[in-house]
């Protein structure tokens, strides 16, 4: 059994917020769970080429925008899943930070960070 508190999670600054990583590849479960803060007013162009991801919004608000320009509002109680390694923009509202609980498969190693360079997609 694995029991961790937020104080035990590995904290990674991913560029436009913090990723508090509860489960990593070394735990042997095959997936990761993170508690992710997206800083208010930020826009991040992202793509996970080696991981599928599902994110559940538990606090704050924002939107996820696909590369065709389709925008999907994110508010507490909304989940989005990147089931095809989808490139996307993650945008947090200016009113406050957005908080997401995210699951990655396969599991993150732990030190992965985004490259937020507009000229190239971020990826793990």
Q: Any idea what the CATH number is for the domain that residue 79 is in?
A: 2.60.120.10
- 114/121 Cα distance (integer angstroms): 9
State the pLDDT at residue 111.
78
Residue in this structure with the two tokens 């509202």, named with its chain if needed: 93
Tokens, residue 72: 């999907």
Domain limits for position 79: 8-54+61-105
State the pLDDT at residue 100.
98
From first to last of its 124 residues, the chain has per-residue pLDDT tens of 999 999 999 999 988 999 999 999 999 999 999 999 999 999 999 988 889 999 999 999 999 999 999 999 999 999 999 999 899 999 999 999 999 999 999 999 987 766 655 444 333 3
State the pLDDT at residue 23.
97
| pTM recorded for the entire structure | 0.89
Asked if the structure places residue 118 within a domain, the reply is no
State the pLDDT at residue 112.
72
Domains identified in the chain, total number:
1
Asked if the structure places residue 72 within a domain, the reply is yes
Q: How many CB atoms lie within 10 A of CB 109?
A: 12
- 66/112 Cα distance (integer angstroms): 22
Element holding 36 (H helix, E strand): strand 32-38
Asked if the structure places residue 116 within a domain, the reply is no
State the pLDDT at residue 119.
40
Asked if the structure places residue 83 within a domain, the reply is yes
């Amino acid at each position: 059994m694995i029991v961790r508190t937020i104080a035990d999670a590995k904290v990674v600054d991913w560029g436009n917020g913090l990723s508090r990583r509860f489960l990593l590849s070394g735990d042997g479960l095959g997936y990761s769970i993170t508690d992710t803060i997206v800083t208010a007013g930020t826009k991040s162009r992202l793509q996970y080429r080696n991981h599928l991801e599902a994110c559940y919004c538990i606090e704050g608000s924002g939107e996820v925008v696909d590369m065709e320009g389709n925008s999907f509002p994110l508010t507490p109680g909304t989940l989005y899943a990147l089931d095809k390694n989808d490139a996307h923009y993650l945008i947090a509202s200016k009113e406050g930070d957005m908080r997401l609980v995210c699951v990655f498969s396969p599991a993150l190693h732990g030190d992965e960070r985004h490259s937020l360079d507009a000229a190239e997609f971020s990826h793990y």
